[in-house]
Amino acid sequence: MSDLFQNYDSTVAPVYTKLDISKPIGYNPLAPPRFNYTVYLYYLKLVEVIEPEEKVSVVLEMAEYWYDPRLAWDASSYGDIQMLHMRQDRVWSPTIASFRINEIADFRDQDFRMVCVENTGHVYTSLTLKVSLNCPMNVGRFPYDSQTCVIQFCMPLFFMQHVELFNSIYQGILNKTIWEKMVKFNLIIFLSFNPLKGNSEWDLVNLTNRVELLSYNDGVGDMQLATFEIKIQRNPMYYIYMIVFPSFIINALSIIGVFMRKTDKMSKLNVGLTNIMTMTFILGVMADKIPKTGSIPLLGIYIIINLFIMIFAVGITTILGELQKWAIPKLKAKKSGLNRKLEYILGDPLETICMAVLEFVNLANFFVMIGFWISDSD
């Protein structure tokens, strides 16, 4: 330690900056390679999804490492010591910044951050972050929707000619025994081919990484972004059991109640209005759950169709009642075979046909809604 830090200054970065930033990368073959900074993601847990605010919160465990040639030593000269652990304030550490992230909280103890220094000059440390980010949501297929959110980090202080940014996903999470242990402790790691739940309503189904280039087309302000893209998919079972299926049953029973032959006009109207108020209330509850976007969600379309089915049912039964009151006395006055048939058709058969048609439309609407769920499951 005495030899290693004899002439070491932790306030100065090991970044070679004697480069002309207006020239392309690598223009000087004699210059040392760009400073490399790498971020490994080895743990991610979905904490919260607030749809009205289009906000997603996740907890990240990341390992970061970089190369500082001033911290290299010949292991054979020091008893074959190849690794040292020390406080992070003893060495220079890069400052990574979030990009397009609302809030970020570092859970590490500021006074006891540790780093691992290898004799090759590579320095390793870890980050535990809670990140809250804006995630624009497309709720057109709600509640069968999936959303893609992007988490990005950058090093805005350095020019691209000085620093090269890398990111990757730690391959150790491919071990299934690790998954099982982490699931027991509610630590959720996920892969695209083996999704694990990270939230009761949402499933984490995919994770990818890439390095993007943010260019301002001026050749100077270009910046690399270490990007992690997560895909989350909603679990629709709650909405199917609590909204879709009950709405279907309520509509089916209400249609029967509206077309019951021996029910007076006021009772039929009460049944219809009660159903309409129920559907309107469900729409209001759903509106509080999703962001105010220009698209109507699939569940909203389903409820609106049920609402119009009941409006049509109330309208048809009202029209039929007035038609029967006006036409049947006139048909009875003219006793003929055709008039008796018309009188019979205007009675129970016509109401039964209308009820059957509306019940079929209600059933078809339900099966279409369930069909989206089945197709997504396949």
pLDDT digits 0-9 by tens, 340-370:
555 545 556 777 888 899 999 999 999 999 9
Query: Is 211 contained in some domain?
Result: yes
Q: Identify the bridge partners of residue 61 per DSSP, sorted by sequence position.
A: 43, 128
List the beta strands (DSSP E) in 174-320. 196-197, 202-214, 223-234
Picking from 174, 205, 234, the residue at the C-terminal end of a domain is 234
My answer on whether 303 and 364 are in the same domain is yes
My answer on whether 55 and 124 are in the same domain is yes
My answer on whether 73 and 128 are in the same domain is yes
pLDDT tens per residue across span 244-278: 999 999 999 999 988 887 677 778 888 888 988 98
Query: Is 208 contained in some domain?
Result: yes
Picking from 218, 234, 250, the residue at the C-terminal end of a domain is 234
Give CA–CA dist 337/342, Å, rounded.
9
pLDDT tens per residue across span 74-87: 999 999 999 999 99
My answer on whether 151 and 252 are in the same domain is no
Give CA–CA dist 360/365, Å, rounded.
9
Q: pLDDT under 70 in the chain at which residues?
A: 171-199, 219-220, 262, 321-348, 378
Domain span at 156: 35-234
My answer on whether 42 and 171 are in the same domain is yes
How many domains does the chain fold into? 2
My answer on whether 141 and 278 are in the same domain is no
Give CA–CA dist 294/139, Å, rounded.
10
Query: Is 21 contained in some domain?
Result: no
Considering the entire predicted model, what is its pTM?
0.80
Q: Identify the bridge partners of residue 212 per DSSP, sorted by sequence position.
A: 225
Give CA–CA dist 368/371, Å, rounded.
5
